[in-house]
Amino acid sequence: MTDLYGRRSLLRGALAVAGASALPLSSMAQGNSQQVLRLGYIGPGKKPANATGWALRQGHLLRELAPLGFKDVVTRNFPNGPDLNEAFLSGALDVGIYGDTPAVVARSRGLESQLIGFDVVGMNVWLLTPRNGVRSVKELGGKSIGVARGSYMHRYVLGLLKEHGLQKSVKVIHMFPRDGEAALDQGSIAAFAAQIDVGPLLASRGYPVIDQAEQHPTLRGTSVIVASGKLLAATPGLPAAWTRARRTALQEIRADSEAYYAFHAEVSGFPLEVVKVSHPLSQLPDVAYPPEGLALLDEVKKFLLAENLVSRDFALSQWRAPEA
């Protein structure tokens, strides 16, 4: 079998330089005093969710950003982290919210960005099989797993296979979440590693779950908020403003969780009960740099270095933007 879908080249795709950008240059780049902040996020949803999404919907984010010269926030969704990294590299984004693994890969490979906070800490992954497929991780030897390349789910898969000594006997195939159910239904893969929302949805449709990231605490994921170095040099007050907007949003979310979950289901397009299972409010941090989030981020970095998926180490303390 292949060595985990060519592990050294798998995550390098995270930094393939993009061609023409689908987003216009920001007004800041054009030298205007009124800036438009360009925000990228992962998923099929119409708008971002979690605390940042609620802060954007309720106007908290723009209210905090306005004193810094921003008149609007435009959003764009991406199918995965490597694609979002490409947009960052091409200068098409100011801020990105995405999984820890592609963010760490990008930083290690020289993307001039800074971490300004965490959106989610402790994200689960669901490893599902066809309805008549294998019933344990050990039975995956000689078979294939589908997972989105360069994602936090991908790191979970590699870590899980290493735990079970299956690195050389399992083929890891790049597969977008939208294609997972068809592949399971057809039996073209032995398992699919699904992220939040998709995992519980497929489980509700009868696909067995044989493992979850929550059973392996260091393999859980985080969603980080990263800003371009150019933006922060021009507006050093942005990290603190973002944190204040999230904090206000979290107060409202916890005061009326049903209203929040209805919003999350609306923008994500997933059923309400699936959203509730995937997004416990305990995973939304109140502070910019929660200790658990930083510990998980350090685990990501150590894993990628140990597996030679990145070659350059960096200090998380230097990646973090200063707190006001």
pLDDT tens-digit readout, 64-108 = 999 999 999 999 999 888 899 999 989 999 999 999 999 999 999
Between 96 and 15, where is the model more confident? 96
Residue 2 lies in a domain: no
Q: Number of folded domains in the chain?
A: 2
Kindly state whether residues 255 and 283 are assigned to the same domain: yes
**Residue 40: which residues within 8 A CB-CB, separation 6 or more?**
75, 76, 77, 78, 84, 87, 88, 92, 93, 95, 96, 97, 98
Kindly state whether residues 295 and 264 are assigned to the same domain: yes
Boundary-marking domain end, from 189, 219, 249: 219
Residue 205's nearest CA partner among 222, 218, 192, 223 is 192
Boundary-marking domain end, from 219, 238, 259: 219
Residue 3 lies in a domain: no
Kindly state whether residues 53 and 107 are assigned to the same domain: yes
Average of per-residue pLDDT values in the chain:
89
Give pLDDT, residue 307. 83
Segment 172-197 mean pLDDT? 95
Residue 324 lies in a domain: no
Phi, psi of 187 (to 5 degrees): 75, 20
16, 106 contact by CB (below 8 A) = no
H-run or E-run covering 258: helix 257-268
Which residue in the block uniquely carries the two structure tokens 């977008």? 176
Segment 190-209 mean pLDDT? 97
From the CA atom positions of the chain, what is the Rg in Å? 19
Residue 90 lies in a domain: yes
d(CA 250, CA 38): 22
Kindly state whether residues 115 and 137 are assigned to the same domain: no
* For helices 238-255 and 50-57, angle between their N-to-C axes, nearest 10 degrees: 90
Segment 30-41 mean pLDDT? 76
Q: Please, which residues bridge with residue 192 across strands? A: 128, 146
Kindly state whether residues 112 and 15 are assigned to the same domain: yes
Kindly state whether residues 146 and 278 are assigned to the same domain: no
d(CA 199, CA 116): 28
Residue 136 lies in a domain: yes
Least confident of 4-8, 112-116, 118-122: 4-8
Kindly state whether residues 93 and 32 are assigned to the same domain: yes
Residue 52's nearest CA partner among 235, 234, 253, 232 is 253
pLDDT confidence band for 45 (50 / 70 / 90): confident
Residue 296's nearest CA partner among 113, 114, 156 is 156
d(CA 57, CA 44): 17
The pTM of this model reads 0.87
Give pLDDT, residue 284. 97
Share of the chain above pLDDT 70, in %: 89
Kindly state whether residues 249 and 291 are assigned to the same domain: yes
Boundary-marking domain end, from 198, 219, 240: 219
Domain with 160, as residue range(s), is 124-219
